[in-house]
């Protein structure tokens, strides 16, 4: 049978409230009884039930993490940082993958509440505004990572996507490229929207005409990227450079280029986004815009936990600077 606070109390010859006090380090207890209780706890291998204590109103010390897919390197790296920082602060993370499916997401949002998590970090492209609004209204601790919903007053930690896009496209322009394409996901993802805005702005600032068909919408996976790139690279006029809004898409472009016998960077320059592990192992190494994943992970957790612990009730947007990492996939014309 599981050993409970009663067992400890009985064995130590004190009441359960005394035991509770030494567990939580509250109230005053004589050094002597504290020592005795501690001793018995150890002896009995007593482990306080977090479930029971949660029922009395205390925290579960668990946070939910809703992301599209942990198997995606960008999110797996985020998940890792979130868990690390959570652990440092005494919180566990319940991992939820939704593939950006709104139903799955809504299900999780509800489930996580039933499980009494103390807060939720969301990295998916939510469209569940009503649910979010409701949570916000209830003052339920919430934070967005690598995503934004400008219409909501909500905690956000993300990279400056506009700036990142600006750096990426400017880099290509500075190399003399004029025919530049952009590949991106869904515009409902704000990050993509900002990156596209940056693309348009850089092109216009430099007086470069761009075809609407150079703006390629696709899905997030490598295969999607490859398929779309295959089409793009066989169209005409053919771009000499591509800004892919995720590393995975960029690698899809690599594969398409290879299939078409195009050399990177000689025939085609490519800039990615995210700086995941993928970008370092492809050949040639991918020039990409780095998101400060470690910093982002740490900051969302801090933001969320501050709110959970009532230390900071004002919502904030933390927008971190990206960094263009120039490797060998880009070359001047």
> For DNA, which is the closer residue by CB, 23 or 149?
23
How many beta carbons lie within 10 A of that of residue 228, not counting itself?
22
> For DNA, which is the closer residue by CB, 138 or 151?
138
> For DNA, which is the closer residue by CB, 36 or 171?
36
Residue 33 CB-density burial (10 A; 0-12 exposed, 13-18 middle, 19+ buried): middle
Question: How far apart are CB 125 and a second copy at their closest, in Å?
Answer: 18
Please tell me whether residue 2 binds DNA under the rule CB under 7 A.
yes
Please tell me whether residue 60 binds DNA under the rule CB under 7 A.
no
Please tell me whether residue 298 binds DNA under the rule CB under 7 A.
no
Question: How far apart are CB 89 and a second copy at their closest, in Å?
Answer: 13
DSSP letter string, 188-255: TSHHHHHHHHHHHHHHHHTT----GGGEEE--SSHHHHHHHHHHHTTSSSPPSEEEESSHHHHHHHHH
Contacted by 113, from a second copy, DNA, none: CB < 5 to 8 Å by type? a second copy
| Residues 25-44 close enough to bind DNA by CB under 7 A | 26-30, 32-34
> For DNA, which is the closer residue by CB, 57 or 237?
57
Tokens of 307: 């709110």
Contacted by 33, from a second copy, DNA, none: CB < 5 to 8 Å by type? DNA
Contacted by 13, from a second copy, DNA, none: CB < 5 to 8 Å by type? DNA
186 Cβ neighbours under 8 A, 6+ residues apart: 125, 192, 217
> For a second copy, which is the closer residue by CB, 97 or 190?
97
Please tell me whether residue 15 binds DNA under the rule CB under 7 A.
yes
Contacted by 116, from DNA, a second copy, none: CB < 5 to 8 Å by type? a second copy
Binding-site ranges for a second copy (CB under 8 A): 47-52, 54-55, 60, 62, 65, 69-71, 73, 76-77, 79-80, 83-84, 92-97, 110-111, 113-116, 222, 251, 254-255, 258, 277-278, 281-283
Please tell me whether residue 87 binds DNA under the rule CB under 7 A.
no
4 Cβ neighbours under 8 A, 6+ residues apart: 46, 49
Tokens of 323: 């960094």
Question: How far apart are CB 33 and DNA at their closest, in Å?
Answer: 4
Assign 274 to helix, strand or coil.
Answer: strand
Question: How far apart are CB 219 and a second copy at their closest, in Å?
Answer: 16
Question: How far apart are CB 197 and a second copy at their closest, in Å?
Answer: 29
Cα–Cα distance measured from residue 13 to residue 40, given in angstroms and rounded to the nearest whole number: 10
Contacted by 149, from a second copy, DNA, none: CB < 5 to 8 Å by type? none
14 Cβ neighbours under 8 A, 6+ residues apart: 33, 36, 37
Give the bridge partners for 46, in sequence order: none
Angle at 330 between CA 189 and CA 222, to 5 degrees: 45
Cα–Cα distance measured from residue 154 to residue 204, given in angstroms and rounded to the nearest whole number: 33
For residues 142 and 204, the answer to whether their CB atoms sit within 8 Å is no
Cα–Cα distance measured from residue 19 to residue 22, given in angstroms and rounded to the nearest whole number: 5
Fill in the per-residue mask, 112 to 151: x = in contact with DNA (CB under 7 A), - = not in contact. Answer: ----------------------------------------
Contacted by 40, from a second copy, DNA, none: CB < 5 to 8 Å by type? none
- List contacts with DNA (CB under 7 A): 2, 4-6, 13-18, 20-21, 23-24, 26-30, 32-34, 48-49, 52-53, 55-58
């Amino acid at each position: 049978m599981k050993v409970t606070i009663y067992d400890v109390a009985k064995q130590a010859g004190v009441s359960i409230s005394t035991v509770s006090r030494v567990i939580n380090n509250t109230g005053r207890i004589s050094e002597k009884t504290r020592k005795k209780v501690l001793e018995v706890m150890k002896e009995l291998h007593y482990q306080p039930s977090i479930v029971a204590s949660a029922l009395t109103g205390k925290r579960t010390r668990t946070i939910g993490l809703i992301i599209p897919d942990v198997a995606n390197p960008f999110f797996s790296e985020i998940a890792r940082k979130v868990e690390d920082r959570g652990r440092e602060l005494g919180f566990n993370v319940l991992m939820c993958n939704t593939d950006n499916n709104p139903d799955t997401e809504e299900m999780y949002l509800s489930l996580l509440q039933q499980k009494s998590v103390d807060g939720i970090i969301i990295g998916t492209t939510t469209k569940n505004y009503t649910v979010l609004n409701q949570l916000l209204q209830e003052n339920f601790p919430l934070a967005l990572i690598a995503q934004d919903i400008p219409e909501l007053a909500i905690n956000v930690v993300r990279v400056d996507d506009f700036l990142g896009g600006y750096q990426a496209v400017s880099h290509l322009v500075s190399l003399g490229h004029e025919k530049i394409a952009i590949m991106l996901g869904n515009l409902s993802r704000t990050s993509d929207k900002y990156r596209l805005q940056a693309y348009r702005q850089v092109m216009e600032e430099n007086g470069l005409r761009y075809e609407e068909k150079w703006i390629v919408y696709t899905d997030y996976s490598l295969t999607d990227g490859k398929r779309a790139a295959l089409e793009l690279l066989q169209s005409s006029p053919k771009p000499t450079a591509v800004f892919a809004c995720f590393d995975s898409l960029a690698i899809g472009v690599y594969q398409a280029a290879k299939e078409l016998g195009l050399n990177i960077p000689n025939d085609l320059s490519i800039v990615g986004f995210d700086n995941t592990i993928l970008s370092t192992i492809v050949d040639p190494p991918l020039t990409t815009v780095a998101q400060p994943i470690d910093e982002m992970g740490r900051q969302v957790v801090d933001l969320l936990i501050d709110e959970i612990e009532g230390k900071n009730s004002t919502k904030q947007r933390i927008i971190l600077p990206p960094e263009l990492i120039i490797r060998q996939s880009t070359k001047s014309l």
